[in-house]
Amino acid sequence: MTSKAAELGRQVRTQAGHVRGQQRDASGVLAFKGIPYAAPPVGPLRWRAPQPPTPWTGVRDASTFGAGCLSSLANDHRPGPRAEDCLYLNVWTAAQEADEKRPVMVWIHGGGFQFGSSANTATDGSLLAAKGVVVVSFNYRLGIFGFLAHPDLDAEAPSGNYGLRDQLAALSWVKANIASFGGDPENVTLFGESAGAMAVGILMASPLAHGLFHKAIGESGAFWDGRHGPLQSIDEARARGVAFARRQGNASIAALRGMPAEQLSAAAPWSFRLDHVTASFSPSIDHHVIPDVPARRFLRDEQMHIPLLAGWNSAEEFPFMSLSLPAQSAQAFRAAAEAMFGRERLADFLKLYPADTDAQAKASAAALTGDIVVGEQCWQWLRLHRASRAPVYGYHFNYTSPYTPIASHVSEIPFVFGTLTPQGVIGCTTQPAEADRALSQAMMSYWVNFATRGDPNGPGLPPWPAYDETDVVQILGTTIEAGPNPQADRFGFVGSFRRDGVLPMRWRVVT
């Protein structure tokens, strides 16, 4: 005689203790927020690998979000609590019983590894969960808290990339606990946008992530290349850490660990004028979490061989215009392009990024910025992973409407989650209309289908072909249809400068 499965209610037992979430909403979704997946990374645990959460007795309240990491973004007015004690996650599930083994989707938020949190209203997981998946989101250490490297820290353990190790710890928590929420720990899709997508690509190339997720979705990011070249080396990261300590009066690691968190954060501000790859406390090739340049790992077929869905938006340059080549005039733009790409390639460049007039140069500078900072690396991700023979699906998001007048960076997120929150990056507060809601429903279904079985296709949806050598992607626009990659020639030009998967180091010094 088989016993009846345990009913899933507001109170759930995790390995560290019981949690009580919110009541089911109108769609039957339970939400659990602010669950610790690691010990607070404060005091002696600052700049150490995440440690297991301290078990608790009784029932822990899980009805409100935990604090996000302190932001490195100067004058960051985003809402929500922030603290160094930030290693918390959230779970949304509509499962009625604990043994349902629903597909799991784990979201990594963006923000250049400098700002952001899982409390963003645009990424509320309720509506995705109502479609049959269990959704998890989490916070991780950012900026100097997540990515300081220093020789004295290396004497303890490999330094830098603490934020990436937080992500691995969150995935380990999911593997150990998600079955109690009705999820399947053997069917986990890792998805993210911008820095979140770049983390997905990095973790696909990390041996430490093997077995922690089984499918990947990347929105507007891949390898963490940037305007000034590839991911920083550990030597570059250490030099940045040593220089920071010197600015704090030649402070020792012990002294830096003793600084108040807010003071430490204020001493390491970041803005969009700084390259988030090469001029920031951000991921580095530490030969531990990241063994090599991620694109090189993909080129050598050393990444996880799992299904991948990835793509980019048509106007990724928002909000990265401060990283553009000088374009105050056509002459200035052409001169900067020649310095970056070489005189022998300038004619080819100008065919793709014309600069006959000042206005044309400004438009080309914007297009180039979007291509280098985001688009080309997403395209490389698709091309390189196809060789693994795992299923690969590519998309190009170019949808516009009064609600989304520009298909900018981050503009697809409210469609993916169904939240259709205001498009703040482009300053638009127009309410969504029926066409916006229809596209959102289609995208949610594609994402959930992919998370379920590694294929976005399903009943009632326009067919989405697998990505192959024809470079056909799914156009997510006013009409959803498969079509040739509209930026293939431009991406091919930028990609031609890669050697063994790596962009030129000389771009480090090109203005």
10 Å Cβ neighbour count for 387? 13
| Contacts by 351-360, CB closer than 8 A, 24 or more apart | 352/489, 352/490, 352/493, 353/490, 355/330, 356/330, 357/330, 358/327, 358/328, 358/329, 358/330, 360/330
Full DSSP string of 271-330? -TTS-TTTSSS--EE-SSS--S-HHHHHHTT-S----EEEEEETBTTTT-GGGSPP-SSH
Rounded Cα–Cα distance for residues 258 and 250 (Å) = 14
The CA distance from 431 to 414, in Å, is 12
Q: Kind of pairing, strands 11-14 and 284-285?
A: unpaired
Token pair belonging to 463: 């067919």
Q: Which residue has the tokens 């691995």?
A: 168
Could you give the 3-state DSSP secondary structure of residue 63? coil
The β-bridge partners of 233 are: 285
Token pair of 322 as six digits? 């401060």
Active site residues: 194, 316, 409
Pairing state between β 30-36 and 472-476: unpaired
